[in-house]
Amino acid sequence: LRLHCFAGCQPKDILASLGASPAPRASQHYEAIYSYRNREGYVLYQVVRLPGKQFRQRRPDPVHPGRWLWDTKGIGLVLYHLPEVEQAVTLHKPIYLVEGEKDVETLRSIGLVATCNRGGAGKWEDSYTVELQGAEVIVLPDNDQPGRDHGALVAGRLRGSVRRLTVLTLPDLPDHGDITDWIQAGHTRSELEAFL
């Protein structure tokens, strides 16, 4: 979409008045793209990680296949890796709940089922609680105040809905550290599971 205002206004102001935002430049480097899928495996939306720990969200353009709309309007929010999460609930396998997609991928790389919500700390939706009903959940908060607050929020929302709930504060975690930092410091899956 190209915008031009003959009255001299700025394109960003036009977009803002329409409730839209500019897409990142095509040449802009993406550090990671995380796809959120429905239970059938179709991509509902993506979280795009940009340099400087910036995040943008986009959804498939229903009118132009292969293109993206840089918003999530009208899209039902789901947990990251929802199909794996639902299978784990059915099989009574533990699900690790962390703050961000990078941490989910860290845990998946060592063979564990993990998930998070879109948007990070403080962005928990009631629909996520429903998706985890009957699950065995281990909450791994980041080692900072927003992380601890998020862990407490999630635990409060899940209590009474899940089969088993554990909030695990990892030892030897640096300030502002997370499970990825812990694993990169040389800790293992066996050490993690020994805490449970």
- Parallel, antiparallel or unpaired: strands 32-37 and 43-50: antiparallel
Does the pLDDT at position 113 exceed 60? yes
User: CA-to-CA distance for 7 and 5, rounded, in angstroms?
Assistant: 5
Q: Which residues contact 86 (CB under 8 A, 6 or more apart)?
A: 39, 131
Instruction: Give the pairing type, strands 43-50 and 164-167.
Output: unpaired
What is the per-residue pLDDT across 42-66, written as a single tens digit (0 to 9) for each? 999 999 999 988 999 999 999 999 9
Could you give the C-alpha distances from 123 to 31, 59, 183, 185, in angstroms and in order?
Answer: 22, 19, 25, 28
CA distance 173 to 192: 13
* Strand duo 136-139 + 164-167: pairing: parallel
The predicted model scores a pTM of: 0.84
Give the pLDDT confidence of 117-161 residue by residue, as tens digits.
998 899 999 999 999 999 999 999 999 999 999 999 999 999 999
